[in-house]
Amino acid sequence: MRDAFEALAAQDPARPYQHGDPAALVARITADRRRARLPGWFRLAVAAAASVSGLVTVGLVAALSVAPTLPLLAFAPTPAPAPAFAATKSAQSPATAGVAAPARPVAGRFGPGDSLASAYRLMVPASGLNATMGLGAALGVVGTIGGYNGTVFNETGASGSRITYDTTTGIGEWRYSAGSSTGLSPLRFAAAIAKQRWGYAVELGRRTGSSPVIVDGSVTTLRVTFTVHDGRVVAASGPAFIVTAMVNYRLRSPNDALAATYSEHPTVATSVALSWSLYTTADYFEWLLPTFVFHGHSGTRPWTGQSLAVLSASLTGTAG
Amino acid sequence: MRATRTTELERVVRDYQSAVGNYLRRRLYPLTDGDLDDLVAETFTVVWRRFEAMPRDAELPWIIGVARNVLHNAQRSRRRRSAYEGAVTPRADASSTEDVVVADARVRHGLESLHGDDRDVLLLHVWDGLSVADVARVLGVTPDAAAVRLSRARHRFRAFYEEWDES
């Protein structure tokens, strides 16, 4: 019989790979990284103001922590009036599951998208070491910090509690695990998290759960997760970032967003709320962009949907 | 200075594009050649942005670590887009690539027995050919931790591989 690892190696799907045009790749990267082409389904492209003529930039409203030597985002100055929500089908004729014909939303009037909402540009904290120390101090993990490549930091306290802080993605990510006989009281955990530069609203009294990250008073779709065992928070994780810029965007109509995103699905939206979700733009920056979160039903099942709220004229490329 | 840096990037692309391309191909399937090129380009773009942070004595594991993050971002974006386009709720993690590309049912059974992290360690070692020290660098853990994970993964994989009943 063939050895297990020989068999595994034999199943390696790799084959000789050479990038289609490595010279052009290097030229593109070194000339202007913002022009790097990405598959549409990987990235949502947002135009930099300088690259789109005829568009009016909206001023940088606030630089919250870092000097704003940043590209501004752009939007069209005169968006067409968005139509009001078209409720044309009755709730008595729900779409049948499996029917291919598009089903219209049948409930709710969400109004035109003529308002503004802020988008927030995020960056990883400048010092991973300091961020790890800050998290460690807040969560009661004080010990030697080990680092790797300047992007991943670990701090292990005497009790075995541990903080891992990772900045290798566009924003930082942290994880906390308690030692064998330790853990934080939920109250202390909530207080520690509240002290961070980024905001968290932690619901107490739950065994496991997640709570939204709040930025500038706005509830985002980013979450901090936590596990409570024997009345102590024994594990938690969440994002870490600095808000470096805030730009106002004109919003599209919730109805337009709903129709564009869910037109082929038998969904019925009954309410909509504005939230903020993480996107990576074509220039590799992370943004919290306003999004519509819809609630309703699909047939007899509860349904939740989400769609970018920024007016499409503000964007280059699409999510699809 | 910039010319030197560009020359250095050319070398890095030349030396590691195959490893990066195959790392991504092994874990995201199916991929068109164009999409694979785009992901490789994205990886090297991030490498360029963080060029000064790349350890000269451990370039490959550092670059694979970047590719790993690019891959995770791509998978997240893919799931997010799926949710936008009509899934009633966002999907849970899609089945692993290995479940699709591995034709040997016995091997697939062994891989399916592994927790995601352990599977990562085993495949970085067996498929990507990284040493334990390099696996540790990719994952940002100590070599001891990587060795323990690899040992656990090997033991479990072999056990499930050998227990597989073809019938």
Hey, are the CB atoms on B41 and A25 less than 8 Å from each other? yes
> For chains A and B, what is the number of CB pairs under 8 angstroms?
175
> Contact at 8 Å (CB) between B53 and B122?
no
Q: Is the pLDDT of residue B39 over 80?
A: yes
List, in order, residues 6 or more apart from B115 with CB less than 8 Å away. none
Nearest to A149 among B13, B53, B154 (CB): B53
pLDDT over 50 at A287, yes or no: yes
- C-alpha angle A225/A231/A235, rounded to 5°? 30
Gap from B145 CA to chain A (nearest CA, Å): 13
Cβ of B31: how many Cβ atoms within 10 Å?
Answer: 18
Q: Is the dihedral of CA A46, A48, A53, A56 positive or negative?
A: positive
Cα B14 to chain centroid, rounded: 19
- Cβ burial of B54 (10 Å; 0-12, 13-18, 19+) is middle
pLDDT single digits (tens) A3-47? 888 888 887 877 788 887 788 888 877 764 333 232 222 222 222
The answer to whether the CB atoms of A14 and B137 lie below 8 A apart is no
Q: Are B160 and B109 in contact (CB under 8 A)?
A: yes
More confident residue, A107 or A89: A107
Place of tokens 């337009």: A256
The three-class DSSP label of residue A164 is: strand
How far apart CA A92 and CA A95 sit, in angstroms, is 9
* Residue B92 half-sphere exposure toward CB, CA atoms < 13 A: 2
CA-CA-CA-CA torsion sign (A30, A31, A34, A38): negative
Confidence of residue B11 (pLDDT cuts 50, 70, 90): very high
Q: What is the pTM of this model?
A: 0.45
| Whether the Cβ atoms of residue A303 and residue A233 lie closer than 8 Å to each other | no
CATH 3.40.50.200 fits B95-167, yes or no: no
CB-based contact, A230 to chain B, within 8 Å: no
Q: Is the per-residue pLDDT at A113 higher than 90?
A: no
A73 phi-psi bin (left φ>0, alpha ψ -120 to 50, beta other)? beta
A168 to B66: CB separation less than 8 angstroms, yes or no:
yes
> What percent of chain B is helix, strand and coil (3-state, nearest 5)?
75, 0, 25
pLDDT above 50 for B75? yes
Enumerate the CATH 1.10.10.10 domain ranges in chain B, comma separated. Answer: 95-167
pLDDT digits (tens, 9 = 90+) for B97-143: 454 456 677 787 788 788 878 888 999 999 899 998 899 888 888 88
| pLDDT tens figures, A139-180 | 778 887 776 666 677 777 777 888 888 776 567 778 888 876
pLDDT at residue A201, rounded to an integer: 47
Which one of A126-130, A183-187, B153-157 scores highest in mean pLDDT?
Answer: B153-157
- What per-residue confidence (pLDDT) applies to B15? 92
CA distances from B47 to A119, B20, B136, B141 (A): 27, 12, 19, 20
- For A204-236, the DSSP string reads PS-SEEEEEEEETTEEEEEEEEEEEETTEEEEE
Q: Of the candidates B25, B106, B126, which has its C-beta nearest A13's C-beta?
A: B25
Contact B104 A301 (CB under 8 A): no
Question: What is the spatial distance between Cα A95 and Cα B88, in angstroms, rounded to a whole number?
Answer: 14
- Option in B6, B81, B122 nearest A320 (CB): B81
A243 phi, psi to nearest 5 deg? -85, 120
**Distance (Å, whole) CA A164 – CA B142:** 12
Q: Assess whether the previous peptide bond of B30 is cis (omega < 30° from 0).
A: yes
Q: For the domain made up of B1-93, give the CATH fold.
A: Rna Polymerase Sigma Factor; Chain: A (1.10.1740)
Query: A11, B34: Cβ pair inside 8 Å?
Result: no
Note whether A306 contacts B137, CB cutoff 8 Å.
no
- Report the share of chain A in percent with pLDDT over 90: 0
Q: Is the pLDDT of residue B12 over 90?
A: yes
Residue B126 C-alpha, separation from nearest chain A C-alpha, in angstroms: 6
pLDDT score for B63:
94
Mutation site for B-interface testing, chosen from A2, A30, A42 by largest number of B Cβ within 10 Å: A42
Where is mean pLDDT largest: A23-37, A293-307, B40-54?
B40-54
- In sequence order, the β-bridge partners of residue A298 are A301
Residue A170 at interface with chain B, using a CB cutoff of 8 Å: yes
Looking up tokens 């799931």 gives B79
Locus of tokens 């592994």: B114
Please give the C-alpha separations between residue A36 and each of A40, A52, A199, in angstroms, as whole numbers.
12, 16, 33
Q: Is A304–B89 a contact, with Cβ atoms under 8 angstroms apart?
A: yes
Task: Give me chain A's average pLDDT, please.
Answer: 62
For chain A, positions 38-77, list CB contacts with chain B under 8 A. Answer: 38-39, 41-43
Closest CA relative to residue A168, chosen from A152, A148, A147, A153: A152
Asked if the model's pLDDT at residue A69 lies above 80, the reply is no
Q: What is the predicted pLDDT for the residue at A238?
A: 80
Helices first, then strands: H and E counts in chain B: 8, 0
